Amino acid sequence: MTVLTLLGLGIGGAWWATDHYGDQVTRIPDAFPDGPRPPESDSSDGGTTFLLAGVDSRSKRPTTGKDAAAQLWKYGAQRSDTLMLVHLSADESTAYTMSIPRDSWVPIPGHGSAKINAAFSWGGPPLLIQTVEQLTGTRVDHFGVIDWHGFRSLTDAVGGVPVTVPANTYDPEQQRHFRAGTHTMKGEEALAYVRQRHGLPGGELDRIKHQQQFLTSLVGEVRGGVDITDPFGTDKMLDAITRTVSVDDRMSNGDLRGLVLGLRHLHASDTRFATAPIVRSETIRGQYALILDREKLRAECRAIESGAPQTRGGSS
């Protein structure tokens, strides 16, 4: 869910006169793949595309941000659980987010076809970026990642996030009930909510809706919960963000500062959401998998890059 971090950074632009917070953000060395990569689209609006991942680490210790006490990636130990392509328009007035379901069955370079979340497990950030670029035809400019330790910490740092649960559900895998109504969710409950797929009519697709819903609400909390006249509150928020997120080492402090300044006026209403188009579900080698309409996905990603995304179910 690292898009939360990117949007949340906007609240602290007034205090980024120095490199203080930029220096605290953990950089991922050699995050990008070697070899040929997609060129920038001729129809691109000149904006910036981020690949944002939430990872389900088996480590009991944090793996992202400055609090990391374990490796970000170790073969077979982590899988991407949430995956979003976020395109910030050149005029920084709109952010378009394309969610890619973790169960999407796709080609993974050097490994045949598998669920897309295996790419991070097998090859860390470079293989994940390469897989997404080849799938979508979109060139990734920057990469950001947060683990579940960080997600809980960031949620708690804003004092919890109000979420309206549409109906009573029970998740048998997590053994947790979710009651209909609006609740302010703290870290543990929020994590369970955005991870739920069992007990939901739409399974993985409803889980993505939960993630997009939570993201919208969290962005509002981050922006509205800290006043620009409250440097201590803002300092606390920025410190929480730098503790939890890691970004590629090509993102300089200047890039971060520019992002902060550009996002100062970007509100949740300026963010559009969509989900990769799905043809059907299948059982492949004993695994539940989603088959994507790759041609349509590429067309939608090109439209997003041009600043004219198609609208369909899943967007907001």
pLDDT greater than 60 at residue 21: yes
pLDDT greater than 80 at residue 119: yes
**What per-residue confidence (pLDDT) applies to 24?**
77
Place of tokens 């929020």: 190
**What per-residue confidence (pLDDT) applies to 203?**
87
pLDDT in tens, 217-266: 877 676 654 444 455 556 666 677 777 888 999 988 878 767 766 666 66
Q: How confident is the model at residue 40 (pLDDT cuts 50, 70, 90)?
A: confident
pLDDT in tens, 129-184: 999 999 999 999 999 988 888 888 888 888 899 999 999 999 999 999 999 999 99
CA–CA dist 82, 54 (Å, integer): 5
Q: Is 311 exposed, middle or buried (0-12, 13-18, 19+ CB in 10 A)?
A: exposed
Report the predicted TM-score, pTM, of the whole model to 2 decimal places. 0.84
**What per-residue confidence (pLDDT) applies to 55?**
82
Q: How confident is the model at residue 204 (pLDDT cuts 50, 70, 90)?
A: confident
